[in-house]
Chain A
Amino acid sequence: MNPFSSETRLRDMIRAIRACKTAAEERAVVRKECAAIRASINENDPDYRHRNIAKLMFIHMLGYPTHFGQMECLKLIASAEFPEKRIGYLGLMLLLDERQEVLMLVTNSLKQDLNHANQYIVGLALCALGNICSAEMARDLAPEVERLLQFRDPNTRKKAALCAIRIIKKVPDLAENFINPAAALLKEKHHGVLITGVQLCTDLCKVSPEALEHFRKKCTEGLVRTLKDVVNSPYAPEYDIAGITDPFLHIRLVRLLRVLGQGNADASDLMNDILAQVATKTESNKNAGNAILYECVETIMSIEDNGGLRVLAINILGRFLSNRDNNIRYVALNMLMKAITVDTQAVQRHRATILECVKDSDASIRKRALELVYLLVNESNVKPLTKELIEYLEVSDQEFKGDLTAKICSIIAKFSPEKIWYIDQMLKVLSEAGNFVKDEAWHALIVVISNASDLHGYSVRALYRAFQTSAEQETLVRVAVWCIGEYGDMLINNVALLDIENPITVTGSDAVDVVEVSIKRHTSDLTTKSMSLIALLKLSSRFPSCSERIRDIIIQNRGSLVLELQQRSIEFNSVIEKHQNIRSALVERMPVLDEATFIGRRAGSSPAIVPTSNSASLNLPNGVAKPPAAPLVDLLDLSSDDVPAPSSSGGGFLQDLLGGVDLLPGLNQTAISGTNEAPRTGTDILLDLLSIETSPTQSSSSITDILSSSQGDKSPVASLGEISSPPSLSTRATSAGADPMMDLLGGFSPNPPMPDNGPVYPSIVAFESSSLRITFDFSKAPGNPQKTTILATFTNMSQSIYTDFIFQAAVPKFLQLHLDPASSNTLPASGNGSITQNLRVTNSQHGKKSLVMRMRIAYKFNNEDILEEGQINNFPRGL
């Protein structure tokens, strides 16, 4: 005997593997076996093929690679004997899947076996085809399967029917060939054939409207009759499960009726009686009966309206919901989700029970119930429901808290009847599960508080109290710190005290305590610490008596390893120490945050409905003229009501912020415009909340515009507003120099920018040589992400003037480009001015491909024609 042939039998190999105590041992045994099998495969001994594949299947199940056995399966299938074919097909189904090319080689064997005289071999081939066939095989072998649907042996017919399902799923075009044979199967008496035939018809209806129409016309009555026969059939031991004859057939018939009745009143009428019979007569004490009832309820909910039946169905669901079996309750919740679109009132009746399910110990049931509660909430029941959910939040499992808080926040935002309720509920959520609250939720809360001018005092006091008990909840701390920074004075003076409140005695130093605790807590992350720093700066002006202490706290961060904190603390320190005169103006209260913009921006990510309290959102304080301009103007203290600040002071404090470096006013401009173009701005909602920035959705209205728009009536601002800054400075400032500036004015954005809602893109240098420089600034109109407007700025770096300057560009097919006329065709020398030109690009593959452009520049230089060409690949992503 050959020494390399697989000497161990399958049974022995399994024993050896089971005897292994460690994974390493098991690997060693498997490696040895695999080596033996490979050797045996190379011997090409047909006697052992059978055993080799059996072993490989076991090894495969343990998760080891077995691809080297694939060809052996094909050889076994090609052999003439049944035992070889049986194990060969099993190996084929286990070791291969439809995506392997080896599979194509088996098509021919399959074809032969489908035509084999032995019905069991035909059965093996059908089974393999049904389980792993690919689209090509489906096309090749569909005629065989079609023929086998009429085969004399019922066991072959049922296999062929299921095979046909796989084929039409792979190649829906083939559906029409199967419509008539499938309809014929519905008249069968053999349960196996009937059940597969019904299934085939159901799947045909899904892929082909033609089939649906055909079955609806020709078969509905017959199916109703069949169902009636099955329901009323006497005891049949072969098919009986829990006293019901063939529940599988019941379910499939009811499901096919649902498909036929959906959206067709006539067909629905035909099946009303039998559905009523199934719904009333089916025993519900065993799982099989409940499975039928469940299917029946779904059918009743889906077919055309029949009031009586629906009541019956909802009653069944009510019974399910109060069942003690968790499975039944789960499916009841699942079904109620679908029923809610049909009959909300009926589902509302079960609200109390559903709410109980949210508190169930079973995660699957909790999840279903929570989804359902979320759908059930409306204006009238939001208060009690939210109360219940928040109470449950205290005791719920940690892993469920995330889902639960997200849903509660969403409910509160969607249905809050008044702002004070919104604030109260959000505070409860934040104190209970602040660590699970998503950023959008607490950002929204800040926006709401900022907009509720009569509730500022109330909010800050409530937050102060909440902080005393729940300081470990990160997001609560953030909101508290922000509010104390903004409205700290209202905290200590009990300003705007509501009737329902008890006055509290808080001193300025108590308020500073809160911020100090949050900045010093080691679990606080960068966002919290940064927010605390800003709050401290604000408090230093609100409570001059604590100014020294605040400075001490700020100074402690001077040594922080985080650049952001370090730099900010140094800057703030200098503001407190040296610039008392401008400090109060610098840290004035934030203007009201624009609620509509915030919601509009969120709408992209979550389709939350605008809170009902939206009407108050445009309440602008002290008559600031233009909402978008307000924040900046306010910060610079240039609002139209106030005394126009001399430009020197405005520029002066900017210089101070930048550390007293003597800067040209021009750089200030570019730095400001940098804030608007820098990639981080506008992408982070947090930043907006803290920053002076205008609503970034209108990215076209850069601060440049805002300044120049006030140019007309405010002459001191005019010098500030003159923004034809040299692009070289602009770009440099945007990339690096503007950062500290931006952050100082704009607060902190330690989180990475969220790319999906960033309408502001960094400028790029599209071309640069010793003689010419081109920069691109980008803007997008809100609501049309495909279109980008590029402002190209050309600067002459050489010593001579360029004339006849022409810029041309070309783009690939998926882009459309439109060039506006340039501002001039003469380019002054030495960077003393520039030409600008607008390019409008529409990207039809927005989100998939980024922009790319070829360009050619022609101009005359000392009366010499110059031609420069280049390709621009460094466009920011997402344009």
Chain B
Amino acid sequence: MIHFVLLISRQGKVRLTKWYSPYSQKERTKVIRELSGVILTRGPKLCNFVEWKGYKVVYKRYASLYFCMCIDQEDNELEVLEIIHHYVEILDRYFGSVCELDLIFNFHKAYYILDELLIAGELQEPSKKTVARLISAQDSLVETAKEQRSSISNIIAQATK
């Protein structure tokens, strides 16, 4: 099971956090501080796993962002690396060559995609296409609702003129 997902920039800024196990606000801050200290200082050629308090943290760096997932001792580290990559590919497809700025200004989109990928710390969907399809379906739902609303408010505005 994945206990939490963290996206940390090379400067140590948090770009996304998702907690599947209960951590209080205080613990969360502490975890982030400790892990970014450990992970950001590791050299480029070392392995992608860090043992941490009886858990393992699997991380992978993409450009300036570190994607980290914390898993149990007996979980498959190599698979989690693959899940991270899977997530990055979906983000890439959604934003069209994703960069850190996309994730900053559209952080909620990154969360929506993650929610289509993982629930309860387990993988939900192995197909990138399906995730993309589900996200765009929901995005268009939001769009239509917005359009409706603006047209209604236009009608009201015109009526009250």
Q: Chain A interface (Cβ within 8 Å of chain B)? A: 11, 14, 18, 54, 57-58, 61-63, 65, 81-83, 86-87, 90, 93-94, 97-99, 120, 123, 126-127, 130-131, 155, 158-159, 162-163, 165-166, 191-192, 195-196, 199, 238-239, 241, 246-249, 251, 255, 287-288, 290-291, 294-295, 326-331, 334, 361-365, 367
Contacts and interface: CB of A to CB of B under 8 A. Distances in A.
Contacts of B104: 14, 18
Contacts of B86: 241
A291 B119 contact: no
B64 interface: no
A62 B29 CA distance: 10
Contacts of B50: 364
29 contacts: A11-B105, A18-B104, A61-B16, A61-B107, A65-B25, A81-B145, A82-B138, A82-B141, A83-B142, A83-B145, A83-B146, A94-B111, A99-B22, A130-B120, A162-B124, A191-B126, A195-B124, A196-B123, A238-B127, A247-B82, A248-B79, A248-B83, A251-B76, A294-B78, A326-B45, A327-B47, A327-B77, A327-B81, A362-B47
B109 to A, nearest CB: 10
A251 B120 contact: no
A327 B77 CA distance: 9
Given A57-B108, A90-B111, A294-B76, A192 B122 contact: no
Given A99-B22, A365-B47, A120 B124 contact: no
B137 interface: yes
Interface string B99-139: 00000110110011001000110111111111000100110
A365 B43 CA distance: 13
Interface of B: 14-20, 22-25, 29, 43, 45-51, 76-79, 81-83, 86, 104-105, 107-108, 111-112, 115, 119-120, 122-130, 134, 137-138, 141-142, 145-146
Contacts of A123: 134
Contacts of B43: 361
A364 B49 contact: yes
A120 B126 contact: no
A51 to B, nearest CB: 11
B44 to A, nearest CB: 11
Nearest to A330: B47
Given A63-B29, A163-B119, A290-B78, A97 B24 contact: yes
B76 A295 contact: yes
Contacts of B130: 155, 192, 238
Contacts of A126: 119
Q: Which of B25, B43, B125, B130 has the most CB of A within 10 A?
A: B125
Contacts of A120: 137-138, 141
Of B47, B48, B105, the most chain A CB neighbours within 10 A belong to B47
Contacts of A247: 79, 82
Contacts of A98: 22
Contacts of A61: 14-17, 107
A196 B82 contact: no
A158 B125 contact: yes
A127 B115 contact: yes
A131 B119 contact: yes
Contacts of A159: 119, 124
A120 B45 CA distance: 43
A495 B17 CA distance: 69
B47 A326 contact: yes
Nearest to B142: A83
B127 A330 contact: no
B112 A90 contact: yes
Contacts of B23: 97
Contacts of A238: 127-130
B122 A199 contact: yes
B89 to A, nearest CB: 9
A290 B78 CA distance: 7
Nearest to B48: A327
Given A165-B120, A192-B130, 10 more contacts: A11-B105, A81-B145, A83-B141, A131-B20, A131-B119, A159-B119, A166-B120, A192-B126, A249-B126, A365-B47
Nearest to B138: A120
Given A82-B145, A163-B120, A364 B51 contact: yes
Contacts of B128: 238
- Among B43, B83, B111, B129, which residue has the most Cβ atoms of chain A within 10 A? B111
Nearest to A120: B138
Contacts of A249: 126
Contacts of A163: 119-120
Contacts of A93: 18, 115
B49 to A, nearest CB: 5
A-B complex: 5 closest residue pairs judged by Cβ atoms? A291-B78, A326-B47, A130-B119, A162-B119, A166-B120
A210 to B, nearest CB: 22
A63 B127 contact: no
Contacts of B45: 326
Contacts of A255: 76
A166 B3 CA distance: 12
B46 to A, nearest CB: 4
Given A83-B142, A326-B45, A329-B47, A63 B126 contact: no
A158 B116 CA distance: 10
Nearest to B45: A326
